[in-house]
Amino acid sequence: MEELYNESLFNEWIEVLFSISEDLNEPDAAKVIWKYAKNQAIGILCSKYPENEYKRRCISIKKDITESEVIDNIYIGFRFEQEVISTINDILLSMMLYSADDNTIKHIWNNYVEFPKHKYYNLIEYILKKLFSGTLIKNYNYNISPSKIDNNTDKQEHIDYNKELNKFIVDPIYGQCYPGIVWVLGALGLVSEEKFTIKDYVNLYHEAKDAVDKVMNAEYPEIEIPNIQADFIHNYPDQKNGNITITTRERQYGCILEMVFLIALFDSMKEKNDIVMSAFQDCREYIEYVIEYNIPYTSNPLWKLIAVRIPPKNRPRLEDVQKEKEQLIDKVEQMEETLRQKDEEIENLKLGMIKEENQFKPWSTEKRINILHTLLNLPYHLEGEERKQFKDLCKFMTKAEDKTLERLLSQNSLQEMKENRNELFEEFPVLNRK
């Protein structure tokens, strides 16, 4: 506990924390709650939209405590559950503001967080006034893990974002999403004063990958998939102006994040049972038919990657019909090629060729005619009806064309065959029997 007294912010919360310790009758509760909040605060300010990341972690904290009713080894119980959750959320917010620069503090304060809803609004406001006046000295960075602090300073470990981005680009799963990410973030940069940097691209990839890893490690992925989709939608919301919904920069960022998550998760999960596939289909169905304005999804090149992976639930889309058409065209082309090969095979068989080891080879028509001529003991000079009959027999036995037969049945060809019969007798000795 004593080491916490060195943190100026902890001392601002000490009365609240000691009061909770008394309520829980746990002397270590103050230390445990504070360290739990510190772990949750790490990395919030590194997010592209820290206010949304803060909201996401508040949801995660509520889920964690509600399900277990335990923090570390301290039992909270149903009676003090909401008080502890509310306190941690407010401590987390103060840590976030305490570690941010002045511009970020003002941005969050003025535009995003509805402070009056917080239980300890007055305390947070008092802390901020002390920060701005310089009466509260910043002596701890809650955004950075102690393991990433170099030489006990607030200097974070150097990250080569160029190298990190290239790792994702060359990855067969995450790399396929890169064109769609560039398409969105690049367009948003053109219409906004705030441009997306290489670091932003890397952070988006990391956030998507963290979500994928969470599902992959979950005992019930079918439960985790819709939960994560809900987090993306609620953490990166539209702006409501009466009955008008305005798609914000944050919402478009959340859309691309959600699509990268779905694509990467689908390809990472090699085996998907029916209930997991149903969870994927529900995600697609929600995007297409429930969300009021789905253009940021369906206009992105990544939507085609989703459409060909996740089939709709009884509602065909143009992309799916087109894909099916392409598959049928490919199948027809394959069948046409098969028919062409069969036609070629028939023609080769008609020519008297044989098929050996899946290849067509010509028979020796001349050799077969010589064998027939030998067996029939015919003269080398054939004329008239005798020549016609022998030609018909040779055509039947060899399937040779008329032009070929005319050449091989000429007087000179027959004479040459008769003169070379010794070779034929050596190959087929049975022909030499007297």
User: In this predicted model, what pLDDT tens digit does every residue of 194-225 receive, in sequence order?
Assistant: 778 888 899 899 989 989 999 999 999 999 99
Task: Measure the CA–CA gap between 310 and 335, rounded to whole angstroms.
Answer: 28
Give yes or no: residues 110 and 11 share one domain: yes
Q: Quick check: is 377 in a domain?
A: yes
Burial (CB count <10 Å: 0-12, 13-18, 19+), residue 337: exposed
Q: Are residues 256 and 388 in the same domain?
A: no
95/197 same-domain check: no
Residue ending a domain, choose from 88, 114, 146: 146
**What b-and-e string marks burial along 177-191, b requiring 16 or more CB atoms within 10 Å of the CB?**
bbebbeebbeebeee
Task: Out of 146, 169, 203, pick the residue that ends a domain.
Answer: 146
Asked if residue 140 and residue 172 are part of one domain, the reply reads no
With H, G, I as helix, E, B as strand and everything else as coil, classify residue 14: helix
User: Is 339 domain-assigned?
Assistant: no
Determine contact, residues 84/71, Cβ cutoff 8 Å: yes
Q: Are residues 263 and 181 in contact, defined by beta-carbon separation less than 8 angstroms? A: no
Number of domains in the chain: 3
Q: Which helix (H) or strand (E) holds 162?
A: helix 161-170
Three-state DSSP class for residue 290: helix
Q: Same structural domain for residues 78 and 177?
A: no
Residues 123 and 222 in one domain: no
CA-to-CA separations, 45 to 141, 205, 279, in angstroms, rounded? 11, 16, 32
Least Cα distance to 252 among 305, 194, 314 occurs for 194
Residue 191 within a domain = yes
Question: How many Å separate Cα 161 from the centre of its chain?
Answer: 21
Is 320 part of any domain?
A: no
Residue 320 pLDDT greater than 80, yes or no: no
Q: 3-class DSSP state for residue 245?
A: strand
**CA–centroid distance for 174 within its chain:** 6
Tokens of 288: 């297409």
In a domain? residue 155 = no
CA distance 356 to 124: 87
Least reliable range by pLDDT among 212-221, 383-392, 411-420: 411-420
Model confidence, pTM? 0.47
Same domain, 43 and 115: yes
Same domain for 32 and 92?
Answer: yes
In this predicted structure, the answer to whether residue 417 has a pLDDT above a threshold of 90 is no
155 falls in which pLDDT band (50, 70, 90)?
A: very low
Indicate the SS3 state at residue 314. coil
Question: Which of these three, 81, 115, 146, is where a domain ends?
Answer: 146
The per-residue pLDDT for range 33-62, each reduced to its tens digit, is 999 999 899 888 887 778 888 888 888 888
Q: Domain check: are 172 and 127 in the same one?
A: no
**In whole angstroms, what is the distance from residue 379 CA to residue 322 CA?**
71
Q: Please tell me whether residues 99 and 217 are part of one structural domain.
A: no
Examine residue 347 and state whether it is found in any structural domain, yes or no.
no
Q: What angle do CA 117, 119, 125 make, to 5 degrees?
A: 85
Per-residue confidence (pLDDT) for residue 221, from 0 to 100: 93
In a domain, 346, yes or no: no
Same domain, 289 and 375: no
Residue 115 scores a pLDDT above 60: no
Token pair of 10, please?
Answer: 């902890």
**Please, which pLDDT band fits residue 392 given cuts at 50, 70 and 90?**
very high
Q: How many distinct helices (H) and strands (E) make up the chain? A: 20, 6
Q: Is 359 helix (H, G, I), strand (E, B) or coil?
A: strand
Question: Does some domain include residue 342?
Answer: no
How far, in whole angstroms, is CA 187 from its chain's centroid?
Answer: 22
For 425, the domain range is: 361-432
Please say whether the beta carbons of 204 and 255 come within 8 A: no
Q: How much is the average pLDDT of 176-185?
A: 91
Q: Are residues 100 and 167 located together in one domain of the fold? A: no
